[in-house]
Amino acid sequence: MFSCYLSSIIIKWTSFTQFIFFFFLLFFTSPYDAVSPFSDKSTLLRLKNSISDPAGLLSSWNPSSAHCSWYAVRCDSNFRVVSLNITGDGARAHAHRSSTSSSLPCSDFGKFPLYGFGIRRSCVGVKGSLLGKFPSFIIDLTELRVLSLPFNGFEGLIPDEIWSMKKLEVLDLEGNFITGHLPFHIQGLKKLRLLNLGFNNILGVVPSVLSSLDSLEVLNLAANGLNGSVPAFVGKLRGVYLSFNQFSGVIPEEIGENCGKLEHLDLSGNSLIQAIPKSLGNCARLRTLLLYSNLLEEGIPVEFGNLTSLEVLDVSRNTLSGSIPGALGNCKELSVVVLSNLFDPVGDSEFVTLNDELNYFEGSMPEEVVSLPKLRILWAPMVNLEGSFPRNWGACGNLEMVSLAQNFFTGEFPNRLGFCKKLHFLDLSSNNLTGELSKELHVPCMTLFDVSGNILSGSVPDFSNNVCPPFPSWNGNLFQTGDIASPYASYFSSKAQERTLFASLGGVGLSVFHNLGQNNFSGIQSLPIAGDRMEEKSGYTLLVDQNELTGLFPAYLLEKCDGLDALLLNLSFNRLSGEIPSNISRMCKSLKVLDASGNRISGEIPFTLGDSVSLVSLNLSKNRLQGQIPASLGQMKDLKFLSLAGNNLSGPIPSNLGQLYSLQVLDLSTNSITGEIPKFIENMRNLTDVLLNNNNLSGHIPAGLANVTTLSILNVSFNNLSGFLPSNSSLIKCSSAVGNPFLSSCRGVSLTVPSANQQGQFDDNSSNTAQSTQKNNDNGFSAIEIASITSASAIVSVLIALIVLFFFTRRWKPNSRVGGSAKREVTVFTDIGVPLTFENVVQATGNFNASNCIGSGGFGATYKAEISQGILVAVKRLSVGRFQGVQQFHAEIKTLGRLHHPNLVTLIGYHACETEMFLIYNYLPGGNLEKFIQERSTRAVDWKILHKIALDIARALSYLHDQCVPRVLHRDVKPSNILLDDDFNAYLSDFGLARLLGTSETHATTGVAGTFGYVAPEYAMTCRVSDKADVYSYGVVLLELLSDKKALDPSFSSYGNGFNIVAWGCMLLREGRAKEFFTAGLWDAGPENDLVEVLHLAVVCTVDSLSTRPTMKQVVKRLKQLQPPSC
């Protein structure tokens, strides 16, 4: 018995010693240390010693502790390392590398909010990153399943050994500096489930060997330099992220033929072409489909209606056409639909896409789409949608954001949206909606409400006292787990905020933007913002400009604004009257911007207005203010913009304005201000624009103005200034000082002053030389006459009388058509160095005398006008009655006035009232292209000139189509609308007028804008406009430029009805007779191959298929490739 007991003791002792032995091994060597020198622990220590760790992420890695307890290390039950997961913040690594690298810090994911659905990670708590070469000895961790080192600073090639790790399931090196190519031979990785190499510098193609990885589920290669075709095998995966690369070609149909597992497909930001495969409609489990920023064509496949699991669809920034399929209404899980996006998600980042295209659909927005039960975001601005605005929005309980701006919707405003309780972003601007706003709308709770540029009427109601949901945030985490719509909501909100006036003034934090401008509202009852929004100290912008507001200055809008951080208020161009309240500064201490220009406000500027020290911008121009400028305005230390122009202010410019050290723009023009130009302007180092013209200023121009380097515009013309211009100034020129009878003439320049009844106008026969002392018909004065004080005084007196007459009596009548009490104001977009008034423009045309007419068309006649000696403009007098609604005309024409391109005729300004409308353009002496073609036989044919003309017009159209927001369609491209200068530079004219003036009357047709022979067939039949209709017209013009034929040349009659220059060009190309097409001498003088290529390009521009026609950007690219040699 004892022996048995002893035996038991011995056995227990042996077990105890074994336990102590293994305990020793565990804590001092680890099991694998005892087996191999190349243990996991030594491999990890070797890794730590081979890299830089500035933030000390690996401080817990030391030989005296167990490696399985180290930071970011996870072991299995045998103490073997199976996971190494170190996420860096990338910030130090990003700073360490050049700024041109494509990697990014994890914290910078805000730059790419529309990326990585299903795989994005949180960066919270990450405070450092590792730097160095990627180690090849990682392969010694033979049991490793997860190798995740994203957003660090690892650089160089991925070692070949990595691709042979047989047990590896996750390889995640996103956001590093990995270079080289993907391997074409893989010996291991048979268990790899996730390969994430996004945001590195990997080049080349995606090798087909990746298709042999049978366990692969997620492939992320976004934001590298990969090219070639999208591999077809990706359809069998669960998540595919190939965005921000250089993939080209078509999307393979095969992706949709084996996509039973596919949930996320992101091919955005590439150069993929042709149609979206219909087979993608087979991917029943697809949740997100991102195809934005490519070159895809044709329509959205109807088969997408089969994607019943789809939550996000983004096909924006392509060249899609056709109608929006109502079958999308079958996608009951759909919460985000993005059909266009004026914000470029690729262009906003450091990655570049070749695509600036926008989709152009047909028809209306299907009610099946807007009534989707889970719809949160519907984004489709400027995609040519038309017809009645959708009325059935379903329950809309989840709807948060809607942007259908810059389309052609008609019908009543959708007050039904008042039932959408979560709606906080609504942009329906620039449509043709009518009716009134309902007080049930949740406008006070909306962060953005923009209905500008419609035809809404009635009074803006006193909206119900809404209880608002929490203010939506876009500054926090851009990705919430399980909430796929949040990144889009954050992205669109933040982009809209960045472009508000509040942000441009340096405002930060929350901002509410309500734009009711450019409508026919007759009144506004209160400030339409909820009380709890004010309590959140938000910035508030309210625009009600260009409406029909009447009554006294609405001081009540300022009564409850002190809860705001800033109020920006625009009341301009209405019919407000009365005086500015004397207590305005006490009513709203947070007032930042006040624009009340273009009204009928009278009286004096209250002295107390100077107490509004928070003001940054004050515009009271074009009213009926009188008296002197209050010296107290100098107290507004933050003021950057001050305009009091176009009133009847008198007295001197107060010296206190010199205390406005932040002032950038000072406009006191067209008043009756006296005294001298104050010297304090010399010390205002932020000034960029000073407009003092059309006053009664006297004295000298301060010489110190020549030293104000920030000044870009200075206009002191039409005053009583004397002395000399500062000789050392490149800014102060004669053109900005004309009309000062006592001011000495510029050296070498004739500075003539017009007579009283012909200010700015000179007879065509008058002398233009500086030496001339005789003026025909008393149209001007010589230098000696200018020196005559008596004559000059008489001139100035009459000028003042004319100005007073213009601004106060408004009874000047150039002819029977121009009269009554209509406003005679000229809005100027481009300063030509001399003032433009209604009177001097009309007088310069000889009261629209036929002898000055240089052309006519369906929109009206064009007149040559010499505003001042040597300063010529072209005035297009529009047919009154062509346009219904002067307010809408103002809104549309101001959009055109902002367009500037070297090959567009410059729209200098315009006038519009009920009885008179005209546009002012720069004058071009070379005639138009129609005349050039007709007279071609009188000059030698020069292929370089013809090519230059073709390229110039292509560039102009490409600018209108691709770079203008909103996109501008010409709709009447023809030779007579293409003007030339003396050097054969070509300029496109009449752009935007077809939409501006409506389509009820046209040049040679009824029903559609355009001219027979140049109108695209689909436009002539359906009246549906698109940029491809302009491409067709351009193709016809190009055919005329190359040949001796007109679009509908009489010689085509022998071919039968309907035969035109397009059919002729196609026939000659098809029959191999291209030589016969070109004008005499061109084939022999020009490079034959290039001529045929240009002919082929013109024919392709005129094919019936819209998807086959190139874009104007592609036309420009092709013409540049065919550029004639310079010598």
The predicted-structure confidence for 921-976, as pLDDT tens digits, reads as follows 989 888 889 888 888 766 667 888 999 999 999 999 998 888 776 678 888 899 98
> Which H/E stretch holds residue 683?
none
Do 639 and 679 reside in the same domain of the chain?
Answer: yes
Q: Go through 953-986 and write b for each residue having 16 or more CB atoms within 10 A of its CB, e for each that does not.
A: bbbbbbbbbbebebbbbbbbbbbbbbbbeeebeb
Q: What is the pLDDT of residues 461-485, one digit of tens each?
A: 888 665 677 655 444 333 344 577 7
Q: Which band of pLDDT confidence, cut at 50, 70 and 90, is reported for residue 327?
A: very high
What's the Rg (C-alpha) of the chain? 36
Do 832 and 692 reside in the same domain of the chain?
Answer: no
CATH of the domain at 885: 3.30.200.20
Q: Provide the percentage of residues in the chain whose pLDDT is more than 70.
A: 77
Do 902 and 1005 reside in the same domain of the chain?
Answer: no
Categorise residue 1058: left if φ over 0, alpha if ψ from -120 to 50, beta otherwise.
Answer: left
For 118, the token pair is: 């299903």
pLDDT at 290 over 70: yes
Do 616 and 755 reside in the same domain of the chain?
Answer: yes
- At residue 167, the pLDDT reads 92
CATH of the domain at 773: 3.80.10.10
d(Cα 387, Cα 364) in Å, to the nearest integer? 6
- At residue 113, the pLDDT reads 56
- At residue 74, the pLDDT reads 94
Give the least confident one: 240-244, 599-603, 702-706.
702-706
- Distances in Å between the Cα of 158 and the Cα atoms of 170, 222, 227 are 15, 17, 19
Any domain includes 83: yes
Q: Hey, what's the torsion of the CAs at 666, 671, 677, 683, to 10 degrees? A: -10
CATH of the domain at 972: 1.10.510.10
Do 900 and 937 reside in the same domain of the chain?
Answer: no
Q: Give the end of a domain, one of 211, 226, 241.
A: 226
Quote the number of domains for the chain: 4
- At residue 221, the pLDDT reads 94
Q: Are strands 602-604 and 624-628 parallel, antiparallel or unpaired?
A: parallel
- At residue 727, the pLDDT reads 66
Q: Which band of pLDDT confidence, cut at 50, 70 and 90, is reported for residue 50?
A: very high
- At residue 19, the pLDDT reads 46
Q: Which band of pLDDT confidence, cut at 50, 70 and 90, is reported for residue 495?
A: confident
Do 908 and 937 reside in the same domain of the chain?
Answer: no
Any domain includes 1032: yes
Do 1083 and 942 reside in the same domain of the chain?
Answer: yes
Q: What is the pTM of this model?
A: 0.69
For 1091, the token pair is: 């001529």
Do 49 and 69 reside in the same domain of the chain?
Answer: yes
- At residue 1, the pLDDT reads 40
**Which residues, including other chains, have CB under 8 Å from residue 496's CB and lie 6 or more apart?**
425, 448, 513
Do 833 and 961 reside in the same domain of the chain?
Answer: no
**Would you report the helix, strand and coil content of the chain in percent, each value rounded to 5?**
30, 20, 55
Q: Which band of pLDDT confidence, cut at 50, 70 and 90, is reported for residue 228?
A: very high
Any domain includes 338: no
For 1043, the token pair is: 């040949």
> Which H/E stretch holds residue 238?
none
Do 779 and 893 reside in the same domain of the chain?
Answer: no
Q: Provide the percentage of residues in the chain whose pLDDT is more than 90.
A: 38
Any domain includes 150: yes
CB 238, CB 261: distance < 8 Å:
yes
Q: Which amino acid is at 131?
A: L
Highest mean pLDDT among 90-94, 144-148, 345-349, 501-505: 144-148
Which active-site residues does the annotation give? 972
pLDDT at 267 over 90: yes
Q: Give the end of a domain, one of 902, 922, 942.
A: 922
Q: Which band of pLDDT confidence, cut at 50, 70 and 90, is reported for residue 685?
A: confident
* Domain carrying residue 196: 31-226
DSSP letter string, 282-327: G-TT--EEE--SSEEES---GGGGG-TT--EEE--SS---SBPPGG
The number of beta carbons lying within 10 Å of the beta carbon of residue 345 is 27
- At residue 505, the pLDDT reads 62
Q: Give the end of a domain, one of 881, 903, 922.
A: 922
Q: Which band of pLDDT confidence, cut at 50, 70 and 90, is reported for residue 1018?
A: confident
Known binding residue 876? Answer is yes
pLDDT at 92 over 70: no
Q: Counting beta carbons within 10 angstroms of the beta carbon of residue 237, is it exposed (0 to 12), middle (13 to 18) or buried (19 or more)?
A: buried
d(Cα 314, Cα 165) in Å, to the nearest integer? 37
Any domain includes 423: no
Do 609 and 652 reside in the same domain of the chain?
Answer: yes
- In three-state secondary structure terms, 452 is coil
pLDDT at 143 over 80: yes
- In three-state secondary structure terms, 425 is strand
Mean per-residue pLDDT of the chain: 79
By residue count, the chain amounts to: 1127
Highest mean pLDDT among 621-630, 868-877, 958-967: 621-630
Any domain includes 314: no
Any domain includes 560: yes
Greater confidence (660 vs 941) lies with 660
Any domain includes 1126: no
Do 749 and 603 reside in the same domain of the chain?
Answer: yes
> Which H/E stretch holds residue 534?
helix 531-535
